[in-house]
Amino acid sequence: MEDYGKIDRKMLEHICSIAKLNLSDEEYARYQKELQDVIDVFRQMDKVDTQEEPSYHPIEIKDRLRDDEVIAHEWDPLCNSKSFEGRYFKSPKIV
Amino acid sequence: MAEHKIMIGIETHVQLNTKSKMFCSDRSEPGDAEPNSNTCPVCLGFPGSKPRINRKAVEYGILIGIALNCRINSNVFFSRKAYFYPDLSKNFQITQYEIPIAEEGYVQMGDDRIGITRVHVEEDPARLIYQNGDITSAESVLIDYNRAGVPLAEIVTEPDFKSPKQVRNFLERLSSVLEYLGVYDPAREMSLRVDANISMDGGERVEIKNITGFESVEKALNYEIVRQSGMRRMAATVQRETRHFNAELKTTSALRKKEYEEDYGYIFDPDLPMVTLSEAHVSSIKAKMPELPEQRAERLSKEYGMDISRACVIVYNGKPMADFFETSVKLYNNPDGISNWIVNYLMKSLNWRGERISNSKVRPNTFVELVEMVDKNEITERYAKELVKSYVDTGTSPRKLAEGEKVVLTEKDIVKIVSDIIVNNKKASDELKAGKKEAMQFLIGEALKQTKRQANPNEIREILTKLIGKST
Amino acid sequence: MITGVKEYIEEVRSGNLNVDDFAHEVVERSKTIQKKYSPFITLVEHPTSGNGRIKGLPISVKDSICTKGIMTTAGSKILDGYVPPFDATSVSNAKRDGGMVIGKTAMDEFGFGTFSTNCAYSIPRNPHDTSRSCGGSSGGAACLTAAADFPHIAIAQSTGGSITAPAAFTGTVGITPTYGRVSRYGLIDYSNSMDKIGTIGKTVYDAALLLSSLSGYDRLDSTSAEIASEDFTAFGSIKGLRVGIPKEYFSEGVDKRVAKEVRSGIERLESLGASCEEVSLPMTDYGIASYYITAISEASTNLARYCGLRYGMQKEITGDFESYFSSIRSTGFGQEAKRRIILGTYARMAGFRDAYYIKALRIRTKIINEFAAMFKKFDVLVAPSMPIIAPTFSEIEKLSPIKAYSMDILTVPPNMAGIPHVSVPIGKVDSMPVGMQIMAAHFKESDAIRVAAAVEGAR
């Protein structure tokens, strides 16, 4: 496993491509320092021994299931869209 | 083809036929409704909207897991699979990652056992429409979210398949099982999609995504084998990549390089609860489970004294056909005759017309008429075989269709017809007397026409010879 | 003009108030306050209301909570122009009881911040000292509550302290209820397992009154608690109440003067009959790391949907989707949002996930258990709300991100544990308000609220 405590430019670029963000060179340089400081604080968690199970919510929440029935929704799905053709939404191309 | 070591594993996505979607109450009917008419803020990923789990979809997932001999997990979770794509309204898909509904099952196919890694439920993405082209060349792309949120069951196999044919057989079996469980409708277009992963001779794994139709799956895999063997012969290395199958050209083409496992950054979906599946709950579902195709075939074979292979033909044609058989037998108690007419004639006619029993005009009460008439010698078998075609065409009662047809001719009737033909075809008869063979053929032909093919050509030849001989 | 909520309700009940004239006057005064302090992103020109126990009462709504027909931005440019086609359940509950929505209040973008300085629209200024922040992320809500010269209660929201911080900095009362007490349907998500909708009012009564309207089971939210609402204004006596004082909340990281004010508040509680005892909550130190990792892991997935399709900021659709999405997201998100998306994506990546995301969830379990053990012995825990008084804008500019995150050290643990807590003004330092927070067990808002009321009444 890679050293999970280091944020370098290459890692930042990789994350930005996954997260669909374009950063300027200035932002890359600045974020690298800022985020490294944050990660160093996050690493404090290493000091804690945890045998506990992960918690998914602060209170236990289980089995909230919905019956299989159709409830039609009266609305215009295009109400906030600026790009559509007929009743379709327009999408950018794939490649 | 040289002996190659082939490993294939597949992921099958099945649209479950619940009434509403996986995480919202919209109608789950991706058919030909007006675009974006079965939507709401939830499946359109509007800010502030929240998902709610469809209980029935979870039950269907459990049914599938049990039918595939899996272990059902007792606490299951939903996860977010995050990636950006225009068909994902939230740019993540709600699926099951860490703990799916079912794991570690198998399907026995003869001597081979195909491992089932997992069965889980998730939501379908939207439908993309490529205008003037396909995924790589379209000028513009449109999105219809009617399909977004439709419940899917994903069934993942171990890479246990050794040939494309085996994959196809498995898919046909699986489709039958799902149909018998009542969780999916095979008639619905695009309701079953397959991603196939193939590696040859220890080489890289190639993924072919989103194939619809069992035939296409087999073709795509066959193409890959040819393509990859070709590359090996040229000493080229097969790349690890994702490919797309073109059904028209019957080829696969590269979509994108799979340099690394797509990093989906899974987290537990914090809008959704843990779902507990107690042993009692699972047992009660198991108790209500419909009869599976294998069980039905065994039962049909036993109850109706049928050969197991014939029972399988009926059963695996689809549940509607098996139901049709049993209903027919209840109306007219000749299981042997009915199964014979179904397997050897009815199925062919339906295939020819591209119909399934459920959308044809054929009904048990009219179908048994045909069998009964043959049994009682009211019509000949030969005539019945022809009758099947017009019956399937029109759905009209076979009795009505056969009405007015003096359909069973006695020997006396045939002799009379042949005599008339001799009299009405003087030229040919004279030629026949003179020994001309062509004349014989012509007269037999006429006789067959007149007797509506009820008489046997040899029978006619005999009668002609006798009659001609008499008059000489 | 009536300025108090209680008197307002009395006037309406006795039929002495003309609701239309009142509404008009409220709009005018709101505009004046907007010019002075900028609490609003959107002001409603012609607010309306129905019948109910809070008929016509002015309610402001934090801009991360959807209001049908009224622009809702979550403080971000990427939702500029977004008009929700539905009301959040909390808003429809307030309207059901007659509440009158007068505007949407400013906030740190998506809740990312402690000072409301990450708002892409207006940055609210503290009415006690306009060179200082109102706190965040519900800064606009607290600002308006403090400045309003008309009856008003704010609907606010907290993930890691976004109700407590602004309430403490502006000298108002903030109630953060139990996780699940108020439906999250229609709340634009920051961290779904920790987001809670609550209230900010001038007095404990005000904040409690509105909370009663907002609360209650909602089937549209799968995490909504199946617990009926209560009359949270039914304050009782605090005699014999057992109060725990966690020592970690008074450590050197906390301004000594702030600590002193809170200790006087605690003495007040003792004089009212409560018994106080010092306790230790060792997991407090790990709250920041565990909170931020959990929050940003969830947030980075919540924010994935903002890509210029179907709503909000959109451009002409050209080119491929990756370029289009990146272009929208890079111009629409502010700096803090980008930082949190990057870190959140990192914390979830294969290979890092166990060390960050899963580990953080395990530590949360420890924090939850630690509080649960406390509430077996104590009814409430009392501590300072924030380690400092409201900082100036120039001080905030100098803070690095990690230093800014560390300001949440006192608010993060109760928020992670999802326990209800109230911040009540307890004194002043350098003329700036200081808040005291009172924490109670799950669904025991009434315990925290009556302590807050008692302290308020004893001033």
Q: For the residues of B360-382, what is the DSSP string, one character each?
A: SS--HHHHHHHHHHHHTTSS-HH
Question: What's residue B9's pLDDT?
Answer: 97
With contact defined as 3+ CB pairs under 8 Å, the chains touching B are A, C
Which residues on chain C are in Cβ contact (under 8 Å) with A76? Answer: 85
Domain boundaries, chain B: 6-281, 291-402, 411-471
Q: How far apart are CA C19 and CA C259, in angstroms?
A: 44
Neighboring chain C residues of A36 at a CB cutoff of 8 Å: none
Q: Which residues of A touch B (CB under 8 A)?
A: 18, 20, 54, 56-57, 61-73, 75, 77-78, 85-95
C-contacting residues of A 13-42, CB under 8 Å?
15-16, 18-23, 27, 31, 34-35, 37-39, 41-42
How confident is the model at residue A1, as a pLDDT?
39
Predicted confidence (pLDDT) at residue B389 exceeds the cutoff of 50? yes
Q: Do A73 and B40 touch (CB under 8 A)?
A: yes
**Tokens 């028209």 sit on residue:** B248
Q: How far apart are CA B100 and CA B61, in angstroms?
A: 9
The DSSP result for A8-69, as a single string, is -HHHHHHHHHHHT----HHHHHHHHHHHHHHHHHHGGGGGS---SPPPSSSS--B--EE-S-
User: Which positions 67-96 of B are in contact with A (Cβ < 8 Å)?
Assistant: 77, 84, 86
Is B33 touching C (CB cutoff 8 A)?
no
Spatial distance between the Cα atoms of C162 and C136, rounded to a whole number of angstroms:
5
Residue carrying structure tokens 């990859």: B228
Q: Can you tell me the distance from the alpha carbon of B384 to that of C413, in angstroms, rounded to the nearest whole number?
A: 83
CA angle (B186, B192, B198) in 5-degree steps: 140
Please report the domains of chain C, with CATH numbers, ordered by start residue: 1-283+374-459 (3.90.1300.10), 289-354 (no CATH)
How does pLDDT run across B177-212, given as a tens digit for each residue?
999 999 998 888 788 999 999 999 888 899 999 999
Tens-digit pLDDT profile for residues C109-130: 999 999 999 999 999 999 999 9
Active site residue C280: no
Q: Is B246 exposed, middle or buried (0-12, 13-18, 19+ CB in 10 A)?
A: middle
pLDDT over threshold 90, residue B33: no
Average pLDDT of chain B to the nearest whole number: 91
Most confident of B31-40, B183-192, B202-211, C207-216: C207-216
**Model confidence band, residue B376 (pLDDT cutoffs 50, 70, 90):** confident
Pair of tokens at residue B399: 């009795």
Query: Would residue A20 count as lying in a domain?
Result: yes
Q: Does the pLDDT at position B256 exceed 70?
A: no
DSSP C247: G
From the first residue on, what is the mean pLDDT of each consecutive set of 10 residues in chain A (95 residues)?
Answer: 74 95 96 93 90 95 96 95 96 88
CATH number at residue A5: 1.10.20
Distance separating alpha carbons of residues C329 and C325, to the nearest angstrom: 6
CA pair distance A39, C348, nearest whole angstrom: 13
Rg for chain C, CA atoms, rounded: 21
In a 10 Å sphere around its CB, with 0-12 CB exposed, 13-18 middle and 19+ buried, how is residue A75 labelled? middle
Q: What are phi and psi of A41, to 5 degrees?
A: -70, -40
For position C116, what pLDDT does the model report? Answer: 98
**Which of A64, A73, A85 lies at the smallest CB-CB distance from B26?**
A73
Quick one: tokens of C264? 């006087």
Rounded Cα gap, residues C414 and C372, in angstroms: 11
Q: pLDDT tens across C336-381, in order?
A: 999 999 999 999 998 899 999 999 999 999 999 999 999 999 999 9
Q: Are strands C242-246 and C275-279 parallel, antiparallel or unpaired?
A: parallel
The number of beta carbons lying within 10 Å of the beta carbon of residue C169 is 33
Q: How far is CA B406 from CA B81, B461, C145, C381, in A?
A: 70, 22, 99, 101
Give the residue-averaged pLDDT of B171-177. Answer: 94
Query: What is the count of structural domains for chain A?
Result: 1
Q: Domain range spanning residue A14? A: 1-46
Does C140 have pLDDT greater than 80? Answer: yes
Instruction: Flag whether pLDDT at C274 surpasses 70.
Output: yes
Nearest in space to C324 (alpha carbons), one of B338, B24, A83, B340: A83
Q: Which of B131-135, C121-125, C236-240, C275-279 has the lowest mean pLDDT?
A: B131-135
Separation CA B319–CA B300 (nearest Å): 13
Q: Is residue A6 part of a domain?
A: yes
By DSSP bridging, strand B102-109 and strand B71-72 are: antiparallel
The per-residue b/e assignment along C439-452, b for 16 or more CB within 10 angstroms, e otherwise, is bbbbbbbbbbbbbb
Q: Given CB atoms, is B276 within the 8 Å cutoff of chain A?
A: yes
In a domain, A60, yes or no: no
Measured distance CA(B128)–CA(B135) in Å, rounded: 9
Write the Ramachandran bin of C357: left for phi over 0, alpha for psi from -120 to 50, otherwise beta. alpha
Q: For the segment C43-77, what is each residue's pLDDT rounded down to a tens digit?
A: 999 999 999 999 999 999 999 999 999 999 999 99
C-beta contacts of B131-140 below 8 A and 24+ residues apart: B134/B246, B135/A94, B135/A95, B135/B244, B135/B255, B136/A94, B136/A95, B136/B253, B136/B255, B138/A93, B138/A94, B139/A93, B140/A85, B140/A90, B140/A91, B140/A93
Q: pLDDT tens for residues C312-325?
A: 999 999 889 999 99
In a domain, A13, yes or no: yes
**Do C41 and C128 form a contact (C-beta atoms < 8 A)?**
no
Tell me the mean pLDDT in the region B152-158: 98
Note the pLDDT tens digit of each residue in B58-105. 999 999 999 999 999 999 999 999 999 999 999 999 999 999 999 999
Nearest CA in chain C to B145: C310
Question: Facing residues of B119 across strands?
Answer: B102, B155
Give yes or no for C320 touching B (CB within 8 A). Answer: no
DSSP conformation letters of B412-425? HHHHHHHHHHHHH-
Mean pLDDT lowest among B119-133, B248-262, B297-311, C120-134: B248-262
pLDDT of residue B258: 45
In this structure, the dihedral spanned by the alpha carbons of residues A61, C230, C382 and C392, taken in order and rounded to 10 degrees, is: 90
Whether the predicted pLDDT of B259 surpasses 80 = no
Q: How far apart are CA C213 and CA C155, in angstroms?
A: 11
Specify the fold of B411-471.
Arc Repressor Mutant, subunit A (1.10.10)
**Residue C231 scores a pLDDT above 50:** yes
pLDDT tens, residue by residue, C377-415: 999 999 999 999 999 999 999 999 999 999 999 999 999
Is residue B46's pLDDT more than 90? yes
Q: Tell me the nearest-neighbour CA distance from A64 into chain B, angstroms.
A: 6
Residue C162 is a catalytic residue: yes
As a whole number, mean pLDDT of residues C210-231 equals 97
Establish if A75 belongs to a structural domain.
Answer: no
Give the pLDDT mean for C170-181. 98
Q: Looking at residue B190, what is its pLDDT? A: 82
Mean pLDDT for C19-35 is 96
Structure tokens belonging to residue C29: 């005064």
pLDDT band for B432, please (50, 70, 90 cuts): confident
Name chain C's partners: 3 or more CB pairs within 8 A: A, B
* Phi, psi values for residue C146, rounded to 5°: -65, -40
The dihedral through the CA atoms of C285, C286, C289, C293 has a sign that is negative
